[in-house]
Amino acid sequence: MDELTTPAAEQSGSIQSCQFQFKGDGTEYFKIWIVNILLTIVTFGIYSAWATVRNKRYFYSNLYIDNHNFRYLASPITILKGRLIAIAIFIAYSVISQMSPVLGLGLAICFLIAVPWIICRAQTFDRNMSAYRNIRFGFHGNYLEALMAYIVWPILGVLSLGILMPMAILKSHQFTIANTSYGTSRFDYKATYGDYGIIMLTLIGAGLMLWFVVWALQFMSLAPVSILVMIVGYFALMVYMSTSILNLMFNQTEIEEHRFVAQVPAVGFAKVLIINTFLTMITLGLYLPAAQVRMAKFVSENVELNVVGSLENFTAAQAQDSNALGDELGNVFDLGV
């Protein structure tokens, strides 16, 4: 696959494949990772903001496409301020809940109402602090869209006994991707309910077959074998779900005329995951930085961007107002944003 868009391609508007590359090194990142941990412990957590920035900058700066790398622009001080405010809010909520359960319930309801706002602010901060070719990314999601994507649709998915769960997952991904911009250009996400439905139906069918095999083995008094089959089976289902959704998200994403193409193989993904897990366990966690680098390299090697013409035609947008509070509230309250 070609890594560069040639001048001829720019003039003719032909499609060129630009391969993503991750040029990080496990040993190099381990040094950053271990220093971050030690300094975070010594400073009683204060250095964690600097650790977050150093970690993200390493991965961003080592991710390349078309011979240009990404950049992470956040300031550690900004993250520290947001983190301290988020922790203070969490402590106040915990204390008030202990003193008055009624007030605690009221605060919990207020927090639930604020969740869509927190998600929007976290996404906005994350995009604004990301750049490629000196052009920043942006985020344009609003409160109502976040409310529907992360609260209303998941509830409908449960109430419909799972029938609408593919739609709930679609809406959350659509909210994240379609509201992202690069400069003045918005990303477009073309996935459908059917795309997610096929993945979910495959998982359900394979899960039922796995349950039947495990039940049959137990019925034949082969309990140890059934446990092994169950572990391997659930691992295979997890790998299938992860790679299928990852490929779907990339393959259905466009920006202007440019399209992402992903072919992350399930077998290769499983191999990397098994090796990473095994080495991380036997090294008591010390292999974790190298594991993260290995996975980043594997995924990037299987993702490319089909460029029509050139990537130099994007225009920078006006900077959005953002801070780290929403991002840190999401982390403190484990919202996964």
pLDDT, tens digit, for every residue of 222-260? 888 999 999 999 999 999 999 999 999 999 999 999 999
Place of tokens 């950049």: 71
Q: What pTM does this model have?
A: 0.86
From the list 314, 310, 335, 319, the residue with the least C-alpha distance to 66 is 310
Tell me, what DSSP letter sits at residue 182?
E
* pLDDT number for residue 10: 47
pLDDT, tens digit, for every residue of 97-145? 888 888 888 888 988 899 999 999 999 999 999 999 999 999 999 999 9
Tell me the pLDDT band of 6, cut-offs 50, 70 and 90. Answer: very low
Beta strands, E only, 82-237? 130-132, 135-139, 180-182, 185-189
Q: Give the pLDDT mean for 87-101.
A: 88
Specify whether the CB–CB gap between 306 and 258 falls below 8 A. Answer: yes
| Residue 96 burial (C-beta neighbours within 10 Å; 0-12, 13-18, 19+) | middle
Angle separating helix axes 266-282 and 223-251, nearest 10 degrees: 120
**Planar angle of CA 286, 287, 288, nearest 5 degrees:** 90
What does the DSSP assignment read for 120-131? HHHHHHHHHTEE
Tell me, what DSSP letter sits at residue 142?
-
* pLDDT number for residue 13: 59
